[in-house]
Structure 1
Amino acid sequence: MALTADDIIKFLFAILLPPIGVFLETGCDYHLAICILLTILGYIPGIIYAIFVIVEK
């Protein structure tokens, strides 16, 4: 999938607050719950998952 200008903002949020980046990409679904859990367990896994979701969707 081609990246757009909106994805830049999503990537910034994914680095600063990973659940917000996922929320902007997918809305309120299971991806958001997984990202919140990973961010609580460790900040880096939350960032990795958020970037993965943004790139894959």
Structure 2
Amino acid sequence: MSLITIILNILLPPLAVFMKHGIGSTFFISLILTLIGWLPGVIHAFIVNGD
């Protein structure tokens, strides 16, 4: 995982997921989790982008 991906995972989780996976169910899950609360979005982004 690059430094840019880590920074985006923290600051803008949906953007980080979009850059790796495009628009799909993973992106929308990340967007919803980030809107509910920032921390769940960050956790989801790290799990998804950690592959």
TM over 0.5: yes
2:42 corresponds to: 47
1:15 corresponds to: 10
TM-score by length of 1: 0.82
Percent identity, aligned pairs only, is 35
Counterparts of 1:21 and 1:43, CA distance in 2: 14
Q: What residue ranges of structure 1 are gaps of 5+ in the alignment? A: none
Two-structure CA RMSD over aligned residues (Å): 0.9
1:35 corresponds to: 30
* Alignment: residue pair count: 51
Runs of 4+ in 1 over 3 A off after TM superposition: none
Q: What residue ranges of structure 2 are gaps of 5+ in the alignment? A: none
